[in-house]
Amino acid sequence: MATIPQPKGYPLIGNMAEIDPNAPVQSLMRMARAHGSLFRFDALGQGIVVVSSQALIDELCDETRFQKALHRPLQEARYVAGDGLFTAYDEEPNWGKAHRLLMPAFGPLGLRAMFDRMVDIAEQMMVRWERFGENATIDVADNMTRLTLDTIALCAFDYRFNSLYQNEMHPFVAAMVGGLDETGRRARLPAGAGKLMLLRNRRFEADIKVLRDVSNRLIEERLQDPRLGERGDLLDRMLTAKDSETGLTLSRENVGYQIITFLVAGHETTSGMLSFATWLLLTHPEALAKASAHATRCWGARRPRSTISGG
Ligand code: HEM
């Protein structure tokens, strides 16, 4: 039987010395270059297997055998996102309930319904960039964070953060970064040790309160909306739709966790992807020219519209 390669580590901390807490993904990429597309590393006694080839990832994403693994960082993130979809255990009833209720909203028809709002926010950003003029320096990663936070909030909850009109980022962003930073730090320490630092705990609790206040405000405002149940976005669905299997709606507490989950999971990932895509396009002029020609051919000066069909 073949053994999975593992770099040599140290007693107790295992291979943690190889992980730069400020650039964990780059650390794993460096390790993959040295040890191949399948390797194991020891994180404080916990064995983690890392795969990085398309073939192995396809194998792991085979839905007939897929099971979610709530590893340490996700367990710690439950302080922030409770049993929301991302941090729920596979077998937790709220995972199945929310999964069944929300799946259609993320299908092609659900996404088509979000399209005009995506264009609305993208236009806000592009108009702003145009007005800066040709010689301005633009912080792309910062702008993409504003773009994606505003897009997910508008598409999912019909809520406008208006981040592109403010100098400072919405307090939700600082609280989210602080909260994730703390969960990541706790996950790198032996279980329970992270809670011993009182000052950090207080900051963590303050960050969680900001996230909860935002989600509570969204729920409160929607519950008082006379069009509740008719608006058809994710928030409406979460507050009013009944699960086909249990006949129950999501609890208010769980809806709060899902709101935080969508805002966090839906904007960090996409803003990172868009920032990298921009950088790659700018450093590959031939690809940029091809993409630009394609966009001009499809839309010219017209407003982009959804081409997803069906239903
Ligand atoms: C480029 C964009 C994105 C990337 C790279 C990405 C990546 C991922 C990955 C890797 C997972 C699995 C995590 C695990 O099980 O360990 C995941 C799950 C999830 N993502 Fe995303 N995501 C993206 C965009 C989004 C958006 C836009 C949303 C919501 C609006 C979202 C919401 C979620 C949720 C709710 C889960 C948990 C699903 C479940 O376990 O039932 N993601 N994502």
Q: How confident is the model at residue 199 (pLDDT cuts 50, 70, 90)?
A: confident
Across 105-109, 154-158, 240-244, least confident range: 105-109
The predicted structure's pLDDT at residue 36: 93
Higher pLDDT, 1 or 56: 56
Within 6 A (CB) of ligand 1 lie 68, 85-86, 99, 152, 261-262, 265-266, 269-270, 273
pLDDT of 309 over the 70 cut: no
The predicted structure's pLDDT at residue 311: 42
- Ligand 1: which residue has its CA nearest to atom 29? 266
Q: How confident is the model at residue 279 (pLDDT cuts 50, 70, 90)?
A: very high
Work out the percent of the chain whose per-residue pLDDT is above 70: 97
How much is the pTM?
0.85
- At 120, list the tokens: 């609305």
pLDDT of 7 over the 60 cut: yes
Most informative mutation of 78, 86, 157 for ligand 1 (most atoms within 8 A of CB): 86
The predicted structure's pLDDT at residue 194: 67
Task: Using the mean position of ligand 1's atoms as its centre, give its distance from the Cα of residue 289 in Å.
Answer: 31
Give which of 148, 203, 150, 153 is closest to 179, Cα–Cα: 203
pLDDT of 197 over the 80 cut: no
Task: Using the mean position of ligand 1's atoms as its centre, give its distance from the Cα of residue 307 in Å.
Answer: 23
- Mean pLDDT, residues 88-111: 91
The predicted structure's pLDDT at residue 19: 87
Q: How confident is the model at residue 307 (pLDDT cuts 50, 70, 90)?
A: confident
- Ligand 1: which residue has its CA nearest to atom 18? 86
Contact 95, 261 (CB under 8 A): no
What is the rounded average pLDDT for all residues in the chain?
A: 90
Work out the percent of the chain whose per-residue pLDDT is above 90: 60
pLDDT of 129 over the 50 cut: yes
- Ligand 1: which residue has its CA nearest to atom 12? 86
Q: How confident is the model at residue 273 (pLDDT cuts 50, 70, 90)?
A: very high
Task: Using the mean position of ligand 1's atoms as its centre, give its distance from the Cα of residue 265 in Å.
Answer: 6
pLDDT of 227 over the 80 cut: yes
Q: Give tens-digit pLDDT for 217-226.
A: 999 999 999 9
Task: Using the mean position of ligand 1's atoms as its centre, give its distance from the Cα of residue 126 in Å.
Answer: 26
pLDDT of 134 over the 90 cut: no
Task: Using the mean position of ligand 1's atoms as its centre, give its distance from the Cα of residue 132 in Å.
Answer: 33
The predicted structure's pLDDT at residue 249: 94
Atom of ligand 1 nearest to the CA of 95: 41
pLDDT of 118 over the 90 cut: yes
Q: How confident is the model at residue 21 (pLDDT cuts 50, 70, 90)?
A: confident
Task: Using the mean position of ligand 1's atoms as its centre, give its distance from the Cα of residue 247 in Å.
Answer: 26
Atom of ligand 1 nearest to the CA of 68: 15
- Ligand 1: which residue has its CA nearest to atom 26? 266
